Amino acid sequence: MMGLLVLLNSHKGSEDVALLADDLDLEIDEILPSLEYAQVLQLVKVAEGRVSFTDLGKRLVQGSIRDRKALLREQLRRTTLFKTILRALDNSPDHSMSDEELAQLVAFTTPADEAVQNIVNWGRYADLFRYDSDERRLVAVRRPASSRPGANRPPPSGGSSERASAEGKAAHPSSPTGDSGVGVAGVAPVTA
């Protein structure tokens, strides 16, 4: 999705969907999931075959990496799925959930393993939670009250359990990290 938004920015923020797909050497149906996700996050609007940035989308592509993460964090928090995941993490006694618990939660929304992979990657990129690959668990990111939404403090850096090799991973267009994989167990850490 980010690559598509950067390309849209190079087209002055508005372009025919078919031309964007052509520029990416993809079929239109191959970029639609990224466009739909960008629409859900209110970054673009699509009308009559043309995609255009919203003000929020413009801010995203023009911002620093820290600004992008903060903006995406807020947009993801507004979606039903991420609200549910974050609420489950907050209500868990150890503020974590296993791969299986996450898969069960997501199954109510979508059955695809790839969707779970993308959810984990986007949530980690936006610092909504981290993934402990040793324990194979999502873990809540705890922030002091002063660094909650609207504050200017950077998110906490990940621990050693988030550092791992992304060797052998092929690029995936709808993942914020370009990682591929078929299940949560194969989640590669976000190092951005």
- Residue 84 burial class via C-beta count within 10 angstroms: exposed 0-12, middle 13-18, buried 19 and up: middle
pLDDT digits (tens, 9 = 90+) for 19-73: 999 998 889 888 888 898 899 899 999 999 999 999 999 999 999 999 999 999 9
The pLDDT of residue 103: 85
Q: Which tops the pLDDT comparison, 127 or 167?
A: 127
Segment 91-115 shows an average pLDDT of 79
The pLDDT of residue 122: 83
Query: Which one-letter amino acid corresponds to residue 147?
Result: S
Average pLDDT value over all residues in the chain: 76
The pLDDT of residue 114: 60
For residue 186, give the nearest of 173, 170, 174 by alpha carbon: 170
If DSSP codes are grouped into helix, strand and coil, which group holds residue 88? helix
pLDDT digits (tens, 9 = 90+) for 181-192: 333 333 333 333
Segment 124-142 shows an average pLDDT of 85
Segment 167-179 shows an average pLDDT of 37
Ordered DSSP codes for 30-49: HHHHHHHHHHHTTSEEEETT
Q: pTM for this one?
A: 0.61
Whether 160 has a pLDDT exceeding 60, the answer reads no
Whether 92 has a pLDDT exceeding 70, the answer reads yes
If DSSP codes are grouped into helix, strand and coil, which group holds residue 54? coil
Domains and CATH numbers, the chain: 2-61 (1.10.10.10), 64-186 (no CATH)
Chain-centroid distance, C-alpha 109: 16
The pLDDT of residue 125: 86
The band of 158, judged by pLDDT with boundaries at 50, 70 and 90, is very low
> What is the rounded distance in angstroms from the CA atom of residue 131 to the CA atom of residue 78?
21
